[in-house]
Structure 1
Amino acid sequence: MGGTSLCGSTLYTTASTCTLCAKKAYQLEVERIVFIEQYPDHAHQQTILSGSRQVRYEQFEGVSGNSFFRLYAPIMSEKDLVEYYY
């Protein structure tokens, strides 16, 4: 973002932020982060909640549509992937 502030903005993302993205969102003064799925990293505890400024961190509730599930659906079954790579 070239140092541009996004003060008061909302970041919508498919997964909760990783540590690097959480740091960048905090630096850019994002006020609220809304995500669909919880990422296994705990960046919001380490980065978002430890700062002096409060960032709201919310899991999306509602209908996300089939596009989300189609986008992240596996292309091949796990068995086929194992056969392909080994």
Structure 2
Amino acid sequence: MKIRSGGHDYDGLSYVSYAGHPFFIIDMFNLRTVDVDLASKTAWVQSGAILGEVYYYIWEKSKTLAFPAGVCPTVGVGGQ
């Protein structure tokens, strides 16, 4: 079993089995809700969201809050 979080797969490791055994992939791509709570200054982010979406939804709600993460907008929040 391999789990992807919806972002790009830079090394392509999600699609390869070096041991030669069959496997299946669970892609969290559709779990991409981002809820920003201004009162508590928190955000709930599902694992399929990509960084670009997270940055956009935070910017849409507030011009003063930020989210410390990477610079590539297509990387999934849950990793690659």
Q: Provide TM-score, normalisation by structure 1.
A: 0.31
From the two aligned structures, give the one with the greater helix fraction: 1
Higher gyration radius (CA): 1
Compare relative contact order (CA 8 Å, sep 6+) and give the higher one, 1 or 2. Answer: 2
- TM-score (norm: length of structure 2): 0.32
